[in-house]
Chains A and B, each alone.
Chain A
Amino acid sequence: MTSDKKGARITQLHGAGGELMGELLDRLILPKLGRATAERIGLRALDDGATIACPFTAEGELVLTTDSHVVKPTFFPGGDIGLLAAAGTINDLAVMGARPIALTLAAIIEEGFLFVDLERIIDSFASAIESVGVSVICGDTKVMPAGDVDGILLNTTGVGIARHAVSDAGLCPGDRVVLTGTIGDHGMALLAAREEFNLSTRLQSDVAPVWPMLAPLLESPSGDAVHAMKDPTRGGLAAALNEMARKSGTCIEIDESSIPIREPVLGLSELLGISPFEVANEGKAILIIAPETVDDALRTLRAHPLGTDAAIVGTVTEAYPKRVILDTEVGGRRFLDMPLGDPVPRIC
């Protein structure tokens, strides 16, 4: 690892959700944090959230998650940092199988930031939490001198309740891999919107809270057939699938032709040489579902507007433990490995 060298410094890739971020956590941060578990799922699981025994109901688990948002540009096609912060935290709870209850909101703002922009951001945040029925119950505001922070950064912590929290490691051979919609939209929309790329595209971020789409499935009897979940944010589908395969010791075999992907995303990824499998999504989930239930589950997901493109994209097997295999559209076959990091920086 690059940090073995004397005077080594953190690079953007150390925060990009891939192999390097994993190494940073494993080798520098986690070993120093001895007390890292409060209940069943703790820090070391490196899941989307952690659990605490729920003091209110005997059968439930309290799920806790936290996230900082540093997106550039602050306003992007399809959303802004306010919507992203709300959706990001709600989604981390949702893919733990937890109904979101409450959020915190902390803002670090650069001196000179426009009131009107802050107002838009808070409006987006408010309408996102309203749509899910979750409350924001405490917060913090700091202002930094101009130049000490780039625009605005938000941090949100979320708390939710799950009947039984769903980890990202519960994959069993035979399970089907379900993707709730198209991939690559968020990362590619941000890339296209950056000033250095003079591209006019129809790309929109997919940023949205996924709980309203997942709730009907998770809170139905079929919910127990959902063995694992993850939201493919930084590092995209490739990073999320590799994490799931590694943690569960299974192999995930993906059928490329069944992966929903929009034409402009595919076109831009070809143009820039950036794989759509490696860029972030902010309104999607990967669900690992028992085969006998998957068709029912798919119907339930598709009944929600966010899930109309939901598809079965692969199967959990034992072929190559801890690896992900991609059956390509033309009929080829290769490993889909953990990316070093998301190729697009500052996306969430």
Chain B
Amino acid sequence: MPRSVLLPLLLLSILGSACSPGAPEPTPGKLTIFAAASLTEAFGEIGAAFEESHPGVSVTFNFAGSQQLRAQLEQGAQADVFASASPREMDKLAAQGFADPSKSEIFAQNRIVVVLAKGNAANITSLQGLARPGLRLVLAAEEVPAGEYARQVIDNLDKSVTSNGGTGYAQAVLANVVSSDESARQALSRVQLGEADAALVYASDAVSAPELPVLEIPAESNVIASYPAAPLATSKQRGLAEEFVAYLLTPKAQGILKNWGFAGKPQ
């Protein structure tokens, strides 16, 4: 290869490393939904069902950490609906006028579970096992909802250990964290690949990886993650966006969400 080919190659490789999903242009009948990564499978199905009941409408998704989606929307990304894994991200958007808080609906709930590597090579049999030195534990980053919930759960477990006369549970568990990933999904992938022994993820994530053993967290130590969805102020098809948010509360959509491990909308 001649030397003159090298610079374009270098540029190509830099380009390759810098690519990120851009915001698609709005077209009539095309609905763009920014949704939390944990909704990937459920929303795939709901989107298909919505398209079926709304002929001529096509739904496209951008799945990522809620925080990242919020940042993209603040930087001018064009979308019609935002479905967040945490009310906080929705509130932040609404506070800046990007979403209408009065149109926001809590459409699903989720909880945290512990997933273990296939075959449970690390031989973890209880939540106490997460504190064992040398274990490789992965969490979502503190900055994303899944990571915040996971740390809350560890905190709650620490309190119950302390009330039973134990000490240093949270410290020992957090010392085992080998990566703080961008989303619970990424943390789950590391366990699926066998790189990590365990991860704290959403119950819905665990459903998408049925081959992995799951440790449940007692309800009194768990958290309830609420998922709000709202039409976005910049949407060029508010009517359709509002219809999609309303559709999330229908028995059809609620059924799909439950199949994927979510608890439905609050009663």
Same assembly: no
- List chain A positions with a Cβ less than 8 A from chain B: none
